Amino acid sequence: MPLRESLAYWHDAVLETLVGMYISTEDRTYNAKMRTDQLGDLQITTVDCDPGVVYRAPRLIARGDGEQVFVVLQSTGVAQIEQDGRATELRAGDVAFFETMRPSRTRFPQRFQMKIFAVPRCLLGQREADLQQITAKALRPSEGLTAVLSPFMAQLADSCDSYSAAITDRLGSSTVSLLAAVAQEQLGKGSADLPGADQVLLLRVQTFIRWHLSDPDLTPPVIARAHQISVRYLHRLFENEGTTVCRLIRELRFEECRRELASPGPASAGVGTVARRWGFTSATHFSRVFRGRYGIPPTEWLRRERGQGSHEEDRCPVDSR
């Protein structure tokens, strides 16, 4: 496209793929490329861009849903980031957390490549106040779990399209669990709140829940029995996670239903099919709760979503209760 239109086009591409941001450059043109892949709930986007300044403004945040937290890997170049009153510099191999619900500013003084892992907020298992403690901090590849995470993120982002459809969801789930563990490590919650064995068990339980979301009988007793622990012990594992077992199941089903209902194309499933696929036994109850919470029945929302395209004001989540 004409160079004079390149920056405006990039603004639109970033808004469509990630979140709304202001991007400024010295000459108002931009040479950049983007690749996006999806592994289950995990979206991985690699950007290769000219120097510039990226600003996540409050006005743009009001337009977004804030459902994702970004975990970024600086592949090449340098990123000077500011968020939540902190400033740091990312160099090649460094990892950092970004909040999409609060303003941020990043300066890229030279051409750079960054890999952005967009994780549904609910899957990190951390409260907003906790996440605010770890944003805009450079996690060096020589420290703790980041020594494992940094090369793994690089390899995964570069090879997403080489995995079969049969394993992408599980691979995405395992990656989210690793990112959640890194967040927990940064918050100092690991050995302080749970013994090492319990921390591993918690990750296993979270993965088990994700793999069995479609089972309408997925309950705390079933989960506890599958891991040979008591229900009381299961609930204790979640005491420091800012959520409960049942709430996590609801949030994960929320994500799956919302994503599937919003999928374009003539082969997209109907409301009743989606409801049953993700553990709902009654489409009638599903529709009643949806309408009570969002003001319109899910069939009407679905008609708008598929008929008019993707508009922020039409998008709404699906609750399982």
Is the predicted pLDDT of residue 95 greater than 80, yes or no? yes
Average pLDDT over residues 22-47: 90
What pLDDT shows up at residue 310?
44
Q: Are 157 and 73 in contact (CB under 8 A)?
A: yes
73 pLDDT tier (thresholds 50, 70, 90): very high
234 HSE (CA, 13 A, CB side)? 22
| CA atoms of 195 and 201, how far apart (whole Å) | 10
237: nearest Cα among 223, 254, 252, 256: 223
DSSP string, 277-307: HTT-S-HHHHHHHHHHHHSS-HHHHHHHHHH
Pick from 59-68, 194-203, 248-257 the range whose average pLDDT is largest: 248-257
Mean pLDDT in residue range 11-35: 86
User: Which CATH number is correct for 3-171, 2.40.340.10, 3.40.50.11540, 2.70.160.11, 2.60.120.10?
Assistant: 2.60.120.10
d(CA 206, CA 204): 5
| CA separation for the pair 73, 51 (Å, rounded) | 17
Paired with 12 in beta bridges are none
What's the average model confidence in pLDDT over 305-309? 61
Q: How confident is the model at residue 111 (pLDDT cuts 50, 70, 90)?
A: very high
- pLDDT score of 60: 75
Q: How high is the pLDDT of residue 317?
A: 40
pLDDT tier at 293 (50, 70, 90 boundaries)? low
Average pLDDT of the segment spanning 225-240:
88
Closest among 138, 147, 156 to 74, alpha carbons compared: 138
Q: How confident is the model at residue 320 (pLDDT cuts 50, 70, 90)?
A: very low
Q: What pLDDT is stored for residue 318 in this prediction?
A: 40
Give me the chain's average pLDDT, please: 82
Q: What would the mean pLDDT of 174-194 be, rounded to a whole number?
A: 74
Least confident of 42-46, 267-271, 310-314: 310-314
pLDDT score for 268: 59
Strand partners, 82: 87, 105
Return the pLDDT at 116: 97
The helix, strand and coil proportions of the chain, stated in percent and rounded to the nearest 5, come to 45, 20, 35
Q: Where residue 313 falls among pLDDT bands split at 50, 70, 90? A: very low
Percent of the chain topping pLDDT 90: 30
Stronger pLDDT, 32 or 267, i.e. the higher one: 32
pLDDT for 147 equals 86
Maximum average pLDDT range among 92-96, 99-103, 142-146, 199-203: 92-96
Domain ranges for the chain? 3-171, 190-314
Among the ranges given (80-84, 141-145, 268-272), the one the predictor scored with the smallest mean pLDDT? 268-272
For residue 85, the tally of other CB atoms under 10 A from its CB is 8
> In this structure, how many other beta carbons lie within 10 angstroms of the beta carbon of residue 268?
15
CATH topology of domain 190-314: Arc Repressor Mutant, subunit A (1.10.10)
Q: Are 198 and 184 in contact (CB under 8 A)?
A: no
Average pLDDT over residues 143-157: 88
Lowest mean pLDDT across 103-107, 230-234, 301-305: 301-305
> Helix or strand or coil: residue 205?
helix
Question: Which residue, chain included where needed, has tokens 């709304």?
Answer: 20
pLDDT of 59 strictly over 50: yes
Can you tell me which residue has the tokens 């770890």?
A: 134
Average pLDDT over residues 97-124: 92
Instruction: Return the closest-CA partner of residue 21 out of 43, 52, 45.
Output: 52
Confidence (pLDDT) at 67: 82
